């Protein structure tokens, strides 16, 4: 609550990001809204377990929310903005991993013009509700009001595209490192050398390397399809400035992983489960 007024935050899409942010906000008495129309059992279960208000459809969510956050798969960012653009009464934030061009296109459908380009700068799985989020755009300051409820949001500029540009550059690095780590550890696993490789890298890399390496591999497997989509967004952006080779290979890697693993029900606990599944 700020004063007597209760803040209402809506989510379009209710996966890992929406669940994590909602739990933190809900604990600070923020009212959370989403719609489960057309969604899978996983999404329905996440929203129900989190205990959020369920609306008939996304339009009702848009009409109810002071802040509406788009947390869908990257390929849907434009489509959902188009669907609710006329009805969004408050601030609309696109937090999906999409290129500045896609953010601009999505936000162009928000008729009241109160828009925010937002980007998560870290692993929400590891850092939770406190994960750093950068924002840009004319309504960025209004979005930053969520810091009063414990979020970690920083405004980086007044223009749409500034936050997503930085995010794309960061992601081309982090996702390519994850793919390389997966590939090396998988070969080591097949040779019975995975434990030795992890020990050796632990000595030369940063503290906490093992935990973060395993988390990178398990989340790469779980989010393979979404990561491939994100890599195409990255390619779209960086192709304007260079001839990307590593990011292109990383996109192919995540496509291959999607085909080999199919859709996983939940994030695997251990990298070995994933490697065994690939071998079959």
Ligand X SMILES: NC(=O)c1ccc[n+]([C@@H]2O[C@H](COP(=O)([O-])OP(=O)(O)OC[C@H]3O[C@@H](n4cnc5c(N)ncnc54)[C@H](OP(=O)(O)O)[C@@H]3O)[C@@H](O)[C@H]2O)c1
DSSP letters, 158-224, are SSTTHHHHHHHHHHHHHHHHHHHHHHHHHHHHHTT-HHHHHHHHHHHS-TTHHHHHHHHHHHHHHTH
Among 25-33, 75-83, 210-218, 272-280, the segment contacting ligand X (CB under 6 A): 75-83
**Strand pairing partners for 154?**
134
Nearest-CA neighbor of 46 among 18, 7, 73? 18
Site residues for ligand X, window 190-229 (CB under 6 A)? 226
Among 16, 31, 66, 159, contact with ligand X (rule: CB under 6 A):
16
What DSSP designation does 240 have?
T
Among 59, 124, 156, 180, binds ligand X (CB under 6 A): 124
How many residues bind ligand X (CB under 6 A)? The answer is: 27
Helices 209-222, 271-279: crossing angle, 10 deg rounding = 40
112: contact with ligand X by CB under 6 A: no
72 scored as a contact of ligand X (CB under 6 A): yes
277 binds ligand X (CB under 6 A): no
User: How far apart are the C-alpha atoms of 196 and 42, rounded to whole Å?
Assistant: 36
- Answer for the pair 93, 68: CB distance below 8 angstroms, yes or no: yes
Stretch that binds ligand X, among 116-124, 137-145, 239-247, 248-256 (CB under 6 A): 116-124
Give the residue with the Cβ less far from ligand X, 18 or 163: 18
Dist CA 87 CA 117 (whole Å): 19
Residue 97 makes contact with ligand X by CB under 6 A: yes
Residue placing its CB nearer to ligand X in the complex, 98 or 194: 98
In terms of CB distance, is 95 or 140 closer to ligand X? 95
The residue (of 114 and 226) whose beta carbon lies closer to ligand X is 226
The 32-71 site mask, x for binding ligand X (CB under 6 A), equals -------xx-xx---------------------------x
CB atoms inside a 10 Å sphere around CB 268: 20
List of residues contacting ligand X (CB under 6 A): 12-18, 39-40, 42-43, 71-74, 76, 79-80, 95-97, 120, 123-125, 226, 230
């Amino acid at each position: 609550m700020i004063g007597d007024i209760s803040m209402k935050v809506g989510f379009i899409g209710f996966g890992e990001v929406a669940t994590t942010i909602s739990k933190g906000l809900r604990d600070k008495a923020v009212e959370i809204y989403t719609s489960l129309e057309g969604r899978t059992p996983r999404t329905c279960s996440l929203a129900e377990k989190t205990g959020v208000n369920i609306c008939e459809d996304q339009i009702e969510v848009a009409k109810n929310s002071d802040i509406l956050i788009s947390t869908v798969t990257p390929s849907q960012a434009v489509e959902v903005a188009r669907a609710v653009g006329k009805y969004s009464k408050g601030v609309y934030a696109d937090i999906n991993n999409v290129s500045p061009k896609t953010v601009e296109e999505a936000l162009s459908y928000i008729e009241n013009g109160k828009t925010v380009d937002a980007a998560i700068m870290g692993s929400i799985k590891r850092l939770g509700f406190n994960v750093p989020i950068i924002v840009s755009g004319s309504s960025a300051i209004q979005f930053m009001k969520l810091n009063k409820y414990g979020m970690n949001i920083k405004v980086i500029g007044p223009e749409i595209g500034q936050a997503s540009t930085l995010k794309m550059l960061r992601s081309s690095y982090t996702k390519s490192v994850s793919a390389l780590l997966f590939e090396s550890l998988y070969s080591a696993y097949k040779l019975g050398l995975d434990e030795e490789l992890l020990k050796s890298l632990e000595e030369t890399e940063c503290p906490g390397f093992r935990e973060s390496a395993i988390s990178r591999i398990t989340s790469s497997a779980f989010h393979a399809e979404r990561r491939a989509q994100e890599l195409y967004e990255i390619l779209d952006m960086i192709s304007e400035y260079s001839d990307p080779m590593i990011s292109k290979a990383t996109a192919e890697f995540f496509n291959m992983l999607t085909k080999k693993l199919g859709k996983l029900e939940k994030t695997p606990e251990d990298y070995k489960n994933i490697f065994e599944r690939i071998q079959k």
